[in-house]
A and B are shown apart, each in its own frame.
Chain A
Amino acid sequence: MAASIPFRLQNSLSFINETFLQFVNLKVRHRSFSSCSKVLFASSDVKAPSSPEGNNERDPFPMFVDSRVQDILSRITGFDILKVAGPHKRHLEKPKYKLLTDAELKGEMAIAKERLSKRLQIPPFMNPRKPNLTPLAVDPDLAHFDTSSYVFTDVTFGIADRDRSVVVRETDGTLRVAPWDVKDRMNQIYNPREGKEYLKPQMFEERNLERMISEKNYVYILDRACCQFEPDDPDFIRTTHRIYRAVDEAGDHDDLRSTRHFGSLAFYLTWHKMADLLLLDMLNRDLASDAKDLVRLYTILHPDSSCAASLSQVSSDSSAAQVVQVYIDTASTLRDELQLALQAMEDARKADRNGLKK
């Protein structure tokens, strides 16, 4: 038996223990095998008790899927079609040519726009998932039946990765729902996804990530994270939030415009009341309607704030400058800079209007 134990056994076991301790509870509906070994062909839903921490911290996901929020996020993302299509690395292929009338060209462009707009789907903004440690069956008589644990994966045709049931029979005889990392690995083995790797890529390690941030490869990191992780994976949340903070500090908001990550960036910053620099960037780029949308988003996410209270008194069809002014007065931390930028934007607009009149 000893000969069959792999050479990295000790490391791997310590890794599993860490992951077990890291997660506390499971909050996702999970279709699993029968929890009782006596009952044949039965399946049950496992519900984990909600954690005490979960109650304290607000869950952003219901807010995120709200249609008003989604509208605002997709509006402020923008749609620069050439940036969305972007030159991607591809296998060399000949371009194709067509002779089209003006009407046909318009139609083709509309089709392409619709196709490319799907690329801007915003990845869900969620809290980290909680593990389920409640065993399905405890069987002390079965302890030491083997030196390694068994992982059973359901590969029924047509089952989605998120609904797949994966159970583990530990060496001490207990049967339990597989931890999230095991489940992710099993999904990758039995239903491989392009762009995802079996082992977590080294670029998501802390030191490598910092280096890539200093090289400003924001979109590359975020795209890769979207491929590699589930949206409620703690690694995904840690990585993306670190990037959003780095983008905000460096003032590189424009790099993420017309990509699927701009909505997440705006939502993250507004959720944590850090959207001042983003608002400043919008005012400097003369994006008045975007600035107004951002303030509206702030009021939706924080309905109890003083900004929301004072903005409810302002009429809904008021100008962007008025709405931003309310935000500056009530919720801003960069009051002077924002005021200056707003003033500059207003002046430029006035000058433009006068120039047109003359």
Chain B
Amino acid sequence: MPRIPLRKSFDIIKLAYHGCNNRPFFHIVLLKNISKRNAPPMEMLGTYDPMPNIYNEKLVSLDIDRIKFHLASGVSLSKPVEKLLGLSGLLPVHPMSYMTAKRNRQKLEEQAESEAANKKGEVEES
């Protein structure tokens, strides 16, 4: 009888969703890659609040010592965690962050151009 081969199991630092409806909040946890999203973590390494506060800040807390230890022992990172650590200066900035930044800038430029064109049109009409 054919058997499904077992998935490869390894440790990974990833985000676990712990908010409620319309209020996302993440724990940064150490888990097996095959475990459930909100499984009891092997270790909790920080938190990430993606909703900006009144000062327009997104808050991230990181247990730096433990993260360094786990990185040194060869743990892998999920993409969002890699991005966060890149922004924090602990790791090199993730290439995807640069790409998002570039796309956002392009969008802003296009918006500015279209606005300028609209204004010109309005002036000419009047």
Q: Please give the residue numbers on chain A whose beta carbons come within 8 Å of chain B beta carbons, in ascending order.
A: 4-6, 8-9, 12-13, 15-16, 33-35, 37-38, 40-41, 136-137, 139, 141-157, 165, 167-169, 173, 175, 182, 186, 189-190
Contact = CB atoms under 8 A, between A and B. Distances in A.
B62 to A, nearest CB: 6
A38 B92 contact: yes
Contacts of B52: 4-6, 147-148
A143 B89 contact: no
B58 A145 contact: no
Interface in B11-63: 46, 51-63
B60 A151 contact: yes
Contact of A139 (B88, B93, B100): B93
Contacts of B101: 141-145, 173
- Scoring B46, B87, B102 by chain A CB atoms within 10 A of each residue's CB, the highest score goes to B87
Given A8-B54, A16-B55, A141-B98, A150 B89 contact: no
20 contacts: A5-B52, A6-B52, A6-B54, A8-B54, A16-B55, A37-B93, A41-B90, A139-B93, A141-B102, A142-B97, A142-B98, A144-B104, A145-B87, A146-B58, A148-B57, A150-B58, A152-B88, A152-B89, A154-B61, A155-B62
- Scoring A15, A16, A41, A157 by chain B CB atoms within 10 A of each residue's CB, the highest score goes to A41
Contact of A40 (B53, B91, B93): B91
Contacts of B55: 12, 15-16, 182
A6 B56 contact: yes
A70 B58 CA distance: 44
A155 B89 CA distance: 16
Interface residues of B, number: 37
B7 to A, nearest CB: 29
Contact of B57 (A37, A149, A173): A149
A153 B84 CA distance: 12
A35 B89 contact: yes
A154 B100 CA distance: 26
Interface in B60-91: 60-66, 68, 71-72, 84, 86-91
A143 B54 contact: no
A169 B62 contact: no
B65 to A, nearest CB: 4
B108 interface: yes
B89 A148 contact: no
Contacts of A173: 101
Contact of A145 (B53, B64, B100): B100
- Scoring B52, B71, B84, B100 by chain A CB atoms within 10 A of each residue's CB, the highest score goes to B52
Contacts of B119: none
Contacts of A35: 89
Contacts of A156: 63-66
A137 B100 contact: no
A165 B60 CA distance: 12
Contacts of B51: 4
Given A4-B52, A41-B68, A41-B71, A152 B92 contact: no
Contacts of A186: 59
A6 to B, nearest CB: 6
Given A142-B93, A156-B64, A169 B59 contact: no
Given A6-B54, A37-B86, A152 B68 contact: no
A187 to B, nearest CB: 11
Contacts of B64: 33, 154, 156, 165
Nearest to A140: B101
Given A5-B52, A157-B63, A148 B92 contact: no
A167 B64 CA distance: 13
A37 B83 CA distance: 13
A152 B49 CA distance: 11
A245 to B, nearest CB: 33
Contacts of A190: 61
A141 B93 CA distance: 10
A190 B102 CA distance: 33
A38 B72 CA distance: 16
Given A5-B52, A141-B101, A157-B63, A34 B57 contact: no
A97 to B, nearest CB: 47
A354 to B, nearest CB: 71
Nearest to A9: B56
